[in-house]
Structures are given as structure tokens and as C-alpha cells.
Copies of this chain bind each other. A is one copy, B any other.
Amino acid sequence: CVTKSFFLRKWVRDVWEFAKEDTNRVIFALKVGLAMLLVSLLVLIQAPFKVFGTNIIWAILTVGIMFEYTVGATFNRGFNRAVGSLLAGIFAIMVIEIAMCSGHVAEPYVIGLSIFVVGAITSFMKLWPSLAPYEYGFRVTLFTYCLIIASGYRMGNPMRTAMERLYSIAIGGLLAILVNVLICPMWAGEQLHKELVNGFNSVAESLEECVKKYLRDDGSDHPEFSKTVIDEFPDEPAYKNCRETLNAAARLDSLASSAKWEPPHGRFRHFSYPWPEYIKVAAVLRHCAYEVMALHGCLHSEIQAPYNLRITFQSEIHDAASQAAELLRSLGNNISNMKSSLHTSLLKRLHSSTGRLQSSIDLHSYLLTSTHSFYDCTAKPTDKLPNTLSLTLKDCSGPFPKQSSDAEPNPNPAVPIQAESYHEAMRKQQRRLYSWPSREVDDFEEDGGVDTDMIPHMRTLESTAALSLATFTSLLIEFVARLDHLVDAVDALAKMAKFKQESAS
């Protein structure tokens, strides 16, 4: 009994939390209750029931079927129901006329055949891809037709039956729409707007989280790639949001198609508001988010660049990523506030820090391969080259701090110091062997055909591991490159939706 009351209390708390999280849910539930109550009054009160008769139950059915969460979806369903019922009614009356002309014997055959044909045609049509959104309309057409035909055949006076039902359906539909629009309307357009803005924020957050983890991860908690729950990374909430943004395509599409049905409202005042443009922006955003997914994949990849190497480029990577995130947030904010501002200064800063990241990678690129050449040459004492090589390395790395400080005002003077101390760190560093899928090692041993000796193989991996930093940075750079397209897409949206111009960036 104690556990029971415990579960009950937990359950009540959960429901309360769920309701508090989005009070619109409660409002929606109350609205449905109200609409059902109002339509039931038509039956419960004597006067209207006398006027409409038993066919008024169709009004109840219509409210139950038509009432959707958003205004647009309700309009859409109402349209489907209205057109479907109307078509069914017209077609039913035509067929009944024909059947009555064809004589008493043929009549049931004509009716039966017509039901079969209507059933087959509507079902076939709703499979057609471009007609798929009207699936419900075809369903309504089909069963309304059958109902009118069948009850008309049995109860006589099909015309009157059909008209009364249409009236009832119209009353039900009107009631559903009035309640939905007049009492705390929930606009699909507003939701679409919010979800798009959320998408921008979640991609930005996910990018920052990813880069932060990449730079923080010192190998002590090398991420285990869980096999059973492949898509779960519980310690990365932003990643989950980003993946949800990627998977939200279908929901955004349906919101946009609902939004098209809505009249101008709230902040979206002018007619033919460009909702399809939102879908395009979302597509470009997804295109950027794919790159974040790849960065995340790089973060959890089995082959990792040594921490010391990653930390060398820390400030450049961090700068580029945080400025990219800032640009994303600023774009999201602009959409949210329906303002259009130029992002030139943000873009400039972003491009210059990306350029700095590139220069830095370029100037330090010997680090990405030096492990190899160093070990390769020392491993072969016959070559007698270690001295020459280390000289080369010193000479190549020498100019870097000078050139860097000359050419551009380096905001982080810590970087060159880090870069120099890196050589020390490199020597001290234990040669951590990165776990390229463990079974491979055995495979190589077993497989007689391909017998590469063990040592160079491991070395190869370590060297490739350093190259994984190049992968991470070039994915980041590609992400920044794609942001340009995103800026263009948002600009196009701002123009079409007539966002307020702002001169300041």
C-alpha cells in the first residue's frame, strides 16, 4: 500500500510537471472539453434537437474528428472533411438518380458496383504521393458516400438525409473552428517559427559542446562507444537536441503545411507569409548540422589525436567554434525577433579566426606527421639522418612565432609558448596506443596472407591519430563554409517575410 501511494504520488507529480512544462497542453484539453460540451448541448437542449433531428450526431462526430492542436491543422482537417463530404454527397445523389432510373432489379447492383468503384478509386488515389496529405479527405469521401448511399437506399429520401447530414457536419465544423480560433488559439506558424529558432540554438550549443569536449578530453575518460545504446550519449544533452533537429524535418513540414491554412495573425501579419521559406532555411541548417554530427563522430572515434597535439591548437579551434556558434545564435535571434541585420562584422571575425586556424594548422602541419618521420628515421640507423631532420624541424618551427606576431595581432600570446613547450611534452608523452578496433590486431596475426610486421603497424596508427586532428579542424572549417549558405538562406527569408531592417550589425 505504501509503494502504491508512492507510485500514485510520483504519477501525480509527473502529470503536474508535464502540464506545467507547457500550459498550452492544459488549455488544449480544456478547449476540446468545451467544444464537445457545446456540440452536445445541441442534443441535450430540446429546441435545436427538434430542428435537426437525429442527424445532429454527425456534428458530434465532426467535432471529435476535426479538433486538432493547432489552428492550421484544424482548418486543414475541416477542409478535407468539407470537400470530402461535399464530393461524396454530390456523387451519391448522382448515382442514386441513375440507380432509380435503371429499374428495381438493377438498382442494388448499380449501387453495389458504385460502392466498389468509389472504394477502389479513393484508396488508389490516396497512395499517390502528391495527394498523400489529403489522405483523410479520401477516407471521408469514401465512408460518407457509403453511408449516404446505404441509408438513402434503406430509409428513402436520400436527398434530405444528405442535406441534413451536411448541415450537421457544417455546424460541427464551425463550432470546432470557432472554439479553436477564439479561445487561446495555438498557431502552427508560431510553433514553426519557434522550432526553427530552437534548431539554430541547439546546433550552436551542440557545436560548442563538441569542441569543448574535444579540447577537454585528456584521455582519462576516453569515451566508450556503447554498442547496445548506439545513439545515446547521456553526458551530451546538446548532441541529443542536435539529432532531434536533424530528425524534425517531417514535423516541420507538417507544421508548414498547417501554417499555410492559417489567416494572418500575431506577428505574421501580411498575407501569403513565406512559410515554405522556413523549410528551406531548416534544410540548410540541417546541412550544417550534418557537419556537427561528423565532428561528434570524430570526437567519439576510436582513433584520437594525442591530447598534447589538440591542446596546441586550442585557442584557434575554440575561437572559430565559439564565433561560429555566436553567428548561429545571432541568426536565430534575428529570426526570433523578426529583424534583419547584416552580419558582416561577425562573419569577418569568424572568417579571420577560421583563417587563423588554417594558418596555424598549416604552420604546425609538420607536427601532424613528424612522429612518423622522426621515428622512421631513428628506427633506421643506416640512414644517419636524425640530426638533419631535427634541424629541419627546428628551422621550420622557428619562424612561426615571429611571423605570427608580425602578420596579425595574435589575441592569445599563450599559443606560441604552448607550441614551443609542445616539443618537451611530446618527448615526455607516453606512447599511448590508440584502440583501432581491437579485433584487427588478432586478424592480422591470424591472417597469413597479409603479414605486416606489428611495430610499423602500430606506429602507423599513431601517426594517423595525429592526422585525426586535421580531420576535426577541416570539418570545423567546412562547417564555417556552410554557414555562408545559411546566412544567405536567412537573408532570403528576411527579405520575403519583410523582417524589419536594422542597419547595425
Using a CB–CB cutoff of 8 Å, the interface residues on chain A facing chain B are: 18-19, 25-26, 28-37, 39-41, 43-44, 49, 54, 57, 60-61, 63-65, 67, 69, 108, 111-112, 115-124, 127-128, 139, 142-143, 146-147, 149-151, 153-155, 225, 227, 230-231, 246-247, 249-250, 280, 283-284, 286-287, 290-291, 293-294, 297-298, 301-303, 344, 347-348, 351-352, 355, 358-359, 361-363, 365-366, 368-369, 372-373, 376-377, 380, 383, 385, 388-389, 391-392, 395-396, 399, 403, 407-409, 436-437, 439-440, 443-444, 446-447, 449-453, 456-457, 459-461, 463-464, 467-468, 470-471, 473-475, 477-478, 481, 484-485, 488-489
Contacts and interface: CB of A to CB of B under 8 A. Distances in A.
Contacts of A446: 348
Contacts of A287: 230-231
Contacts of A154: 43, 49, 54
A54 B118 CA distance: 22
A8 to B, nearest CB: 16
Contact of A290 (B128, B297, B450, B453): B297
User: Which 9 A/B pairs are nearest by Cβ-Cβ distance?
Assistant: A64-B143, A33-B120, A294-B294, A33-B119, A29-B124, A36-B119, A365-B369, A32-B123, A43-B150
Contacts of A449: 352, 409
A464 B481 CA distance: 14
Contacts of A29: 119-121, 123-124, 127
Contacts of A453: 407
A148 to B, nearest CB: 10
B464 A362 contact: yes
A57 B152 CA distance: 11
Contact of A25 (B35, B127, B447, B460): B127
A393 to B, nearest CB: 9
Contacts of A389: 392
Contacts of A383: 395
B408 A452 contact: yes
B293 A44 contact: no
B369 A30 contact: no
Contact of A464 (B127, B150, B358): B358
Contacts of A231: 283, 286-287
B127 A28 contact: yes
Given A40-B112, A41-B112, A365-B463, 15 more contacts: A18-B128, A32-B123, A33-B123, A36-B115, A39-B146, A54-B154, A57-B150, A230-B489, A290-B293, A293-B293, A348-B443, A376-B399, A383-B395, A407-B453, A470-B471
Contact of A366 (B60, B225, B373): B373
Most chain B beta carbons < 10 A, residue from A284, A369, A385? A369
B485 A355 contact: no
Contacts of A294: 290-291, 293-294, 297, 475
Contacts of A439: 347, 351, 484
Contacts of A352: 443-444, 447, 449-450, 452
A362 B372 contact: yes
